[in-house]
């Protein structure tokens, strides 16, 4: 389902610069969301998420519009389960569209005449029209029998970038740097184990070019190790990576954090961020050892295939969000 939404979501984006680095199959998606003329929208009502606990109530509560909806706003409150993956309510709108923000700085998403808002009830103001269209496409794709938040990864990333990152930026960077020493691409399989025959050679073949790129970009050669507890990278490399993260904007940091979390590798996230890695290349590096085991022992249906699909959605959605949020 989520993979299908990603296909729908990137439909109307035609700028090749924005989609640079995305996989070839992503570029074939068809259009869903369209931008409207701001003047034709009139005053907008609001759509918000409810942050309160609502374990016993997963319904959608709608305050009806007044006789003159252009003067009085309408609110739609979603239960907290929207952010946790449950199916919530029924689709209550006919069309999702985009419009320029009232202050002319950014773009918003409209559900009929309602303005989409963040969980803290602030307007979902997006940096580019392309990203607004993509998020509108996620809403347009929702079925009449229920809204499925787990099929809206771009919406989730947008809320993270607008609300979580500004408040916890330094904590996010500190956590990423703490995990940097245990980065997936720094860990090498022992070459003397029957269970890892061929893994070390494959790591050298596939990962070493990325490590050489890191050295050329930041001036320090990454240290590889074979311990599960990680190693210690040089302070120069650590400082260079940390400075890069500090210079990112909120959307970029949200995307890097999401990719690093899914990949267990900040290096792979930075490779996508800097355009060194494409989605398929990143997924190949992330699953390198497991895919070798699958080739040797076979694929477990309902296990390996689900993991692969989930990883593709996480990496591709974050990479798409990164590209769509950039102003060219």
**What is the pLDDT at residue 6?**
53
pLDDT surpasses 80 at 245 = yes
The CATH architecture annotation of domain 158-324 reads Orthogonal Bundle (1.10)
pLDDT tens digits, one per residue of 262-285: 999 999 999 999 999 999 999 999
Q: What is the mean pLDDT of the chain?
A: 79
pLDDT surpasses 80 at 149 = yes
**What is the pLDDT at residue 84?**
52
- For 184-210, what is the mean pLDDT? 86
**What is the pLDDT at residue 1?**
53
Listed in sequence order, the residues at least 6 apart from 25 whose beta carbon sits closer than 8 Å to its beta carbon are: 7
Task: Tell which residue, 268, 253, 262, has the closest CA to residue 168.
Answer: 253
Q: Contact, 268 vs 259, CB < 8 A?
A: yes
Return d(Cα 151, Cα 59) in angstroms, integer: 19
- For 37-65, what is the mean pLDDT? 38
Q: Which residues pair with 61 in a beta bridge?
A: 77
Return d(Cα 153, Cα 314) in angstroms, integer: 8
pLDDT surpasses 60 at 95 = yes
Q: Contact, 264 vs 257, CB < 8 A?
A: no
Residue ranges in the chain assigned as alpha helix (H): 2-9, 129-140, 153-159, 165-180, 199-218, 235-246, 250-263, 266-273, 279-286, 288-297, 304-324
**What is the pLDDT at residue 89?**
79
**What is the pLDDT at residue 3?**
52
Q: Which residues pair with 98 in a beta bridge?
A: 35, 109
pLDDT surpasses 50 at 322 = yes
**What is the pLDDT at residue 170?**
97
For domain 32-149, is the CATH number 1.10.1660.10? no
pLDDT tens digits, one per residue of 68-82: 444 334 434 444 444
pLDDT surpasses 70 at 310 = yes
Least confident of 156-160, 199-203, 221-225, 239-243: 199-203
Q: What is the domain partition of the chain in residue ranges?
A: 32-149, 158-324
pLDDT surpasses 70 at 105 = yes
- For 296-314, what is the mean pLDDT? 87
pLDDT surpasses 80 at 195 = no
Q: How many CB atoms lie within 10 A of CB 223?
A: 13
């Amino acid at each position: 389902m989520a993979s299908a939404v990603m296909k729908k979501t990137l439909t109307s984006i035609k700028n090749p610069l924005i989609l640079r680095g995305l996989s070839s199959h992503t570029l074939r998606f068809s259009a869903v969301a369209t931008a409207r003329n701001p003047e034709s929208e009139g005053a907008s009502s609001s759509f918000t998420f409810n942050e309160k606990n609502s374990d016993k109530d997963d319904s959608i509560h709608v305050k009806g519009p007044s006789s003159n909806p252009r003067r009085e706003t309408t609110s739609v409150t979603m239960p907290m389960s929207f952010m946790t993956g449950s199916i919530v309510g029924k689709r209550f709108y006919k069309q999702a569209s985009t419009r320029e923000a009232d202050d002319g700085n950014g773009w918003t998403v409209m559900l009929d005449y309602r303005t989409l808002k963040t969980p803290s009830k602030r307007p979902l103001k997006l940096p580019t029209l392309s990203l607004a269209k993509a998020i509108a496409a996620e809403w347009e794709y929702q079925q009449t029998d229920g809204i499925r938040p787990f099929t809206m990864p771009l919406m989730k990333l947008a809320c993270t970038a607008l609300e979580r990152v500004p408040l916890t930026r330094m904590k996010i960077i500190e956590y990423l740097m703490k995990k940097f020493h245990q980065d997936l691409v720094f860990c090498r399989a022992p070459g003397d184990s029957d269970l890892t025959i061929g893994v070390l050679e494959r790591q050298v073949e596939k990962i070493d070019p990325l490590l050489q790129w890191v050295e050329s970009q930041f001036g320090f050669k990454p240290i590889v190790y074979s311990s599960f507890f990680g190693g210690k990278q040089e302070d120069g490399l650590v400082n260079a990576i940390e400075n890069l993260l500090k210079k990112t904007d909120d959307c970029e940091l949200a995307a890097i954090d999401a990719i690093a979390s899914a990949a267990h590798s900040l290096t792979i996230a930075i490779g996508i961020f800097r355009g060194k890695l494409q989605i398929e290349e990143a997924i190949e590096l992330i699953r390198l050892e497991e895919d070798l085991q699958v080739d040797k022992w076979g694929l477990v249906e309902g296990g390996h295939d689900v993991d692969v699909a989930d990883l593709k959605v996480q990496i591709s959605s974050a990479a798409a969000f990164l590209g769509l949020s950039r102003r060219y």
